[in-house]
Amino acid sequence: MSAVFEVLALPARQAIVERLREGPATVGELAGALGLSQPLASKHLRVLRDCGFVSVRADAQRRWYELRPEPLREVDRWLEPYRWMWEERLDRLGDRLDAMARHEDEEE
């Protein structure tokens, strides 16, 4: 599990993962979208690939990188026991917002 967090510790890798949520992309597309040099983007993609976060598909001269869900599922499973902390707070926030909306309706 610590390897997953180590991989995602760098903002550039987080940004690559975020961008790949939209769908497969080439190194050039990722580098351009994220303002990285192509060699730096390739370096981060190699780490993400080696740790199982992305898969690579060759298409002639291009390599397409695609996000793999398995490492993220591992994070999700690890976070499961802690969800109660923020779900409870979100429920209270929702209750407060509902009360504020009712109050505004009553004033109209």
Question: What are the tokens at 85?
Answer: 């902390």
The answer to whether residue 43 scores a pLDDT higher than 80 is yes
Q: What is the DSSP string of 17-76?
A: HHHHTT--EEHHHHHHHHT--HHHHHHHHHHHHHTTSEEEEEETTEEEEEE-SHHHHHHH
d(CA 68, CA 85): 28
pTM of the full structure: 0.74
Dihedral sign of CA atoms 20, 24, 27, 33 in order? negative
The answer to whether residue 2 scores a pLDDT higher than 80 is no
The predicted pLDDT at position 23 comes to 95
The predicted pLDDT at position 7 comes to 87
d(CA 91, CA 108): 26
| CATH class of the region 1-107 | mainly alpha
How remote is the C-alpha of 25 from its chain's centroid? Answer: 15
**50-106 pLDDT, tens per residue?**
999 999 999 888 999 999 999 889 889 988 988 888 788 888 888 889 888 888 888
Residues contacting 16, CB < 8 A, separation 6+: 30, 34, 41, 44, 45, 48, 54
Question: What are the tokens at 97?
Answer: 């917002």
Sequence ranges of the domains in the chain = 1-107
